Amino acid sequence: MSDSYEQLIRMVRLARGLEMGGFYNAAKLLWAAAYAQELHDSGAQGIPTLPTELSADMGALIAELKKSGVQPAVIAALERGRAAVEKNAVIPATDIPQTQVCRSCGEIVLGPAPEACPQCGAWELTFREFPAVYYLEPLPPDHALAALEAAPELVWSLVRRLNDDQLARQPKPGEWSIREVLVHLLMAQELLAGRVTKMLAEDNPSLKAASSWNLDELAETSARALYDSFRDSREKTVAALRAAAPLGWWRTGEHEEFATVTVLQQASYFAKHDHNHLTQIRQVLKAIGA
């Protein structure tokens, strides 16, 4: 067992003890330190991204988890996830539903939290749910709205001095250029705009994606025009959200991957998504020396 793993377990063990003693602010520092160590150590080993790599790693890990006694239902769900990875397909929530962990004993439960843990009997609200992606963890409404509103100017502040060659330059073959990031941001914004419109107008509508953009057409669109379309569409979405507040934040829709989601979750998702790609733009600027 590595020293790093031993330290991780010590941090989690002590964090749980501090929580039991009521020393919550000390505990949160150790939970944060444990999470930071997980990110650092996993990054140092290299993150698999290709479907072939992901499938191979999942297969090896599933075999190990079987030996360690992980519940058959969880193993079966992982196998369904691996099959989707191999096909490069979306994993619907019907294949891998809500995922809960009992904070008392560590039992994993798929689906809504039970009234009592089947392993230790702990009550329903001791379970912690793991969303499909942290983007879905809702921000305060005013924070989500402010972040969505500010994103276009933040993007412009990073790209306004670049020429067409710099915008199109890939850091490495196969990696996104800044222009490709702009295309992605525009398409994501149009997705948000369509979902917000449907969720505010209809009761719990389906949010199945329907792209309104033709990638071939976007390939001929200038970077400035891509940015202008992103900014203009975002301004309309922010205005719609502001007009619908406060009750509009809690309207829902049905998402194939994430099941039932609120307008606030969607706003939070895309606000965090923006910031992820702002970080990417900075990294590309550094890589191409711009």
Rounded mean pLDDT of the chain? 94
| Mean pLDDT across 137-152 | 98
Instruction: Judge contact between 159 and 227, C-beta under 8 A.
Output: yes
pLDDT digits over 199-238, tens only?
A: 999 999 999 865 555 666 777 888 999 999 999 999 999 9
Q: What is the pLDDT of residues 187-202, one digit of tens each?
A: 999 999 999 999 999 9
> How many residues make up the chain in this entry?
290
Is the pLDDT at 28 greater than 60, yes or no?
A: yes
Residue 158: the pLDDT is 97
- Tell whether the model's pLDDT for residue 76 goes beyond 80: yes
pLDDT value of residue 210: 53
Q: Return the pLDDT at 255.
A: 95
Homologous superfamily assigned to 136-288: dinb family like domain (1.20.120.450)
Return the pLDDT at 218.
77
